[in-house]
Chain A
Amino acid sequence: MNTAIEPERYELTAEPIYHFELRRRDFFKALGGGIAVFCLLDRSFAGQESGRARHGFNEPLPQEISAWLHIGENGEVTVYTGKVEVGQNIRSSLTQAVAEELSVEPGFVRMLMGDTDHVPFDMGTFGSRTTPTMNPQLRRAAAAARETLIALAAEAWKTDPAKLTAANGAVTDPDSKRSASFAELAKGRELAKAIPAEDPLTPATQWKIMGKPLGKVTGRDIVTGRHRYPSDIKLPGMLYGKVLRPPAFGATLTSFDAHDAEQFPGVTVVHDGNFAGVVAPNPRIAQSALAALKATWNSPPPKTSSTLLYEYLKKNAGPAEERAGSTTGSIEQGLAQASRRLRQTYTVAYIAHAPLEPRAAVAEWKDGKLSVWTGTQRPFGVRSELAETFRLAEDHVRVVMPDMGSGYGGKHSGEAAVEAARLAQAAHRPVKLVWTREEEFTWAYFRPAGVIEVSAGIASDGAITAWEFHNYNSGAAAIGTPYNIPSQRIQFHPVDSPLRQGSYRSLAATANHFARESFMDELAHLAKMDPLEFRLKNLTDARFRAALEAAAEKFGWGKSQPRPGHGFGIAGGFDKGGYVATCAEVAVEPSARQVRVVRVVTAFDCGAVVNPDGLRNQIEGANNMGLGGALFEAIEFENGRILNPHFAQYRVPRFSDAPAIEVVLIDRKDVPSAGAGETPIVGIAPAVGNAIFAASGQRQRALPMAPKGV
């Protein structure tokens, strides 16, 4: 992503300053005096990071501002950003960014995240965008704050700012040994500065705080149980809600009788169109009252079931979407040049994110204003949903997002927030709603299922001459091939999905990598070449090659033979600025039809590494999470119902499934940092599938590969 602003776009820096000046007094009134630095956005980022709210009126500040940093009169450094902490540990990595450029210990920096009344607009925390966009913006803000503090000291001491240094929360003159703390310098000031997007930054080779491990900054609050997740929020006078769920997707309420439920003490029943729910003094009474509601529903005929799913997806595919630059050369000519041809079909099941904290919200109406504390990756998106649902101006809705119990792309929507708000509106009291595990498995959205058809031809020397790739429904992320193939046709075919579907960690990059890298393995065997050698023969991308070679070397690829019943597999790719290669060793127990992943090596290159231990944690975790979708996880459904909405029926990876994982970090200090929360997950499924083939001769073309053994 290009971060530079072209000269003719300098109006971006001027216009918001004007708007900001109008608001400065309010800003300092809210925060107290001191020094504030506003980050202005390059408009090329604005599409995702700042974007436009659906209701863009009454915004407190111009949307070209992406974040701000405030140094209070007490010297406290506070950063305000709409990005949120969902387990990817950006609270730590963004703290490092500010600490680095401000030359303070990380402990000096406080991050205020995801509170729509106090942070600038942000589209949401997804797409591995925080590290490539918010991190450099905060660094620029911190660098500008440092320069401002130095200038203030230089003015006071009547000296040259160039010789002053800022470190450990103070500006020092090395000649006169004079020193002034940030607090002393900020005292009595109301200084504001807006910075353009291209201020110079400290190069990665000179980092002192970034590039080194920093643990979870809220770790102590978590190990003591003090941290309040969204489902832990409690307000004075708060009641507890439950929502009546239909028996099938799309069902409509045909009759409703609340008489019995209303007999419970303190219960309010809410019925509004197709929505029905109860509010009670505690969750046990709410559950009893919910069970006492009498309702009949009309269910529409189901579109399909999980057993007929893949036929359905093929039959109901819409017109193909050509991906930009995805058709080159001539498939027919490419195939004519091939000495061998192959065609295979791969399938990917619907899976659930199953974040350990289900959707939860606490809603409060006060003086015509709605406030909701909820777990979401898009606080401003949820604010828009609430404003639209309740016909409020956006500035009459506040969404607060306490660091939550994970999301994995599954909490982009505001269902629980809207439901809690409707219940609270009826009860005239704050209401908490926590979805049950069954609700989370049923009424959230799923990672799209898909069918992927691949065909290719190879020449006698192993060069791929033609490549055709069709993805039905699962998605277009990383659908293109990184290999050098002269003739390609790559298409995504959208389908009217039978289940509600949406984002998931890495989106369809997992499905597309599974199909592509499994098929590459099949082609390697067809060419009678080693799978690594075959990939390298068809690959010139230096960073992808380096990742494959680094993983292979650490794994000992080609150096030893697997033990009987064991097999080795390799796979890799790139997406969202990150390059990944994964080698896996599996053990297949033929009589028990069991697969165990013994050992995994993942090499990853996401540019300059910001927090090496945090990155390792993400890569280890991505491999373990990815094992679920690779081996076991699949949503089963029939007649508009989910058949396995419990952890006892929907198997996720547990301790005994976790392999030994070795991580190789390729730290490219010469390349801007990319995000790392997603792409490390894409290598594990094809690497394991290829290893199962090596161990057993059974080719795996369906995810999950071993729901009940191979």
Chain B
Amino acid sequence: MPKVTELLINGVKYSVDVDAGASLLSVLRDDLDLTGSKYGCGEGQCGACTVLIGGSPRRSCITPVGEAARKPITTIEGLERDGRLHPVQQAFLDEDVMQCGYCTSGMIMTTVGLLTIHPDPSDDVIAHHLEGHICRCGTYPRIIAAVRRAAKSLHEVRS
């Protein structure tokens, strides 16, 4: 099997030595100790493992690492800049969304991707894009409120 030897994650080049067919989530978590992306199902059904590949939300648990090589990967660890939270992270805090918080990083990554293509999404559009994410604690209304808040604050940053 072909090997992957380098990954570009959060703007940093990481040296690895893994089979191209290994799951990206496993490489992130087990080889690189980037544990902010979570294992929830391993089947692309819950969204807890979501990262951005080339800016688009992807389920890292069912993405072979070979597909992510040579593309910029963003994980939850890469959103904070110089101690300042990304507006989506801040919005999740401001809406006090979290109960256990295990789904949060995946929700945030999909929201970051969503707001780049839909800067002002309706509640239906938000729900549609997050439908593949599970929050067992049931904080869905607060997540939608956080996405709306993040959209607003990103809009203010732009204008």
The 3 nearest A-B residue pairs measured at CB:
A225-B36, A624-B138, A87-B100
CA distance A284 to B61 in the complex (A): 12
CA distance A622 to B136 in the complex (A): 10
- B131 to A656, Cβ gap below 8 A? yes
Contact code string B64-105 (vs A, CB < 8 Å = 1, else 0): 000000000001110110000100011011001011111111
Question: Contact check: which of B37, B108, B137 meets A87 at CB < 8 Å?
Answer: B137
- B40 to A437, Cβ gap below 8 A? yes
Q: A436 → chain B, closest Cβ, in Å?
A: 6
Given that A223-B89, A232-B35, A283-B26 are contacting pairs, would A437 and B42 also be in contact in the complex, using a CB cutoff of 8 Å?
A: yes
- B48 to A625, Cβ gap below 8 A? no
Contact code string A187-198 (vs B, CB < 8 Å = 1, else 0): 000000000000
Q: A663 → chain B, closest Cβ, in Å?
A: 10
CA distance A592 to B98 in the complex (A): 35
- A356 to B100, Cβ gap below 8 A? yes
- A229 to B127, Cβ gap below 8 A? no
Given that A356-B48, A654-B131, A655-B131 are contacting pairs, would A225 and B136 also be in contact in the complex, using a CB cutoff of 8 Å?
A: no
Given that A213-B96, A224-B79, A226-B36 are contacting pairs, would A437 and B43 also be in contact in the complex, using a CB cutoff of 8 Å?
A: yes
- B89 to A224, Cβ gap below 8 A? yes
Contact code string B139-153 (vs A, CB < 8 Å = 1, else 0): 111111000000000
B-contacting residues, A235-294, CB 8 Å = 240, 282-284
User: Which residue among B75, B79, B93, B133 has the maximum number of chain A CB atoms within 10 Å of its CB?
Assistant: B93
- B137 to A621, Cβ gap below 8 A? yes
Classify the interface of chain B: helix, strand, loop or mixed. Answer: loop
B6 within 8 A of A: no
Stretch at the interface among A301-309, A336-344, A402-410, A465-473: A402-410
Residues of A within 8 A of B140 (CB): 624, 653-655, 658
Residues of B within 8 A of A215 (CB): 93, 96
- B35 to A228, Cβ gap below 8 A? yes
Give me 27 A-to-B residue pairs in the complex whose CB atoms sit less than 8 angstroms apart, sorted by A's number. A87-B137, A213-B96, A216-B98, A216-B101, A219-B96, A222-B101, A223-B90, A223-B108, A225-B37, A226-B36, A226-B77, A228-B35, A234-B33, A234-B35, A282-B30, A284-B22, A357-B100, A404-B100, A408-B136, A436-B42, A437-B41, A437-B46, A625-B137, A647-B46, A654-B134, A656-B131, A658-B141
A499 within 8 A of B: no
In this complex, what residue of A is CB-closest to B35? A232
A623 within 8 A of B: yes
Residues of A within 8 A of B144 (CB): 655
CA distance A405 to B46 in the complex (A): 13
Interface bracket on A: 35 or more
Interface bracket on B: 35 or more
- B98 to A356, Cβ gap below 8 A? no
- B99 to A648, Cβ gap below 8 A? no
A354 within 8 A of B: yes
Residues of A within 8 A of B80 (CB): 224
Q: A403 → chain B, closest Cβ, in Å?
A: 8
- A229 to B19, Cβ gap below 8 A? no
Q: A310 → chain B, closest Cβ, in Å?
A: 27
- A223 to B99, Cβ gap below 8 A? no
Question: Contact check: which of B101, B130, B134 meets A652 at CB < 8 Å?
Answer: B134
Known: A225-B36, A225-B76. 16 other contacts (CB 8 A): A216-B96, A219-B98, A222-B98, A225-B37, A225-B105, A226-B77, A357-B102, A434-B39, A623-B138, A625-B136, A625-B137, A646-B41, A647-B134, A655-B133, A656-B131, A660-B141
- A617 to B136, Cβ gap below 8 A? no
CA distance A406 to B39 in the complex (A): 14
Q: B124 → chain A, closest Cβ, in Å?
A: 9
In this complex, what residue of A is CB-closest to B146? A223
Question: Contact check: which of B22, B31, B96, B102 meets A613 at CB < 8 Å?
Answer: B96
In this complex, what residue of B is CB-closest to A613? B96
In this complex, what residue of B is CB-closest to A654? B131
In this complex, what residue of B is CB-closest to A406? B100
B56 within 8 A of A: no
Residues of A within 8 A of B138 (CB): 620-625, 627, 653, 658
Residues of A within 8 A of B18 (CB): 284
Q: B77 → chain A, closest Cβ, in Å?
A: 5
Question: Contact check: which of A88, A219, A436, A622 meets B93 at CB < 8 Å?
Answer: A219
Residues of A within 8 A of B98 (CB): 87, 216, 219, 222-223
- B93 to A223, Cβ gap below 8 A? yes
CA distance A190 to B133 in the complex (A): 51
B59 within 8 A of A: no
User: Which residue among B75, B99, B133 has the maximum number of chain A CB atoms within 10 Å of its CB?
Assistant: B99
A464 within 8 A of B: no
CA distance A358 to B134 in the complex (A): 14
CA distance A661 to B90 in the complex (A): 24
In this complex, what residue of A is CB-closest to B138? A624
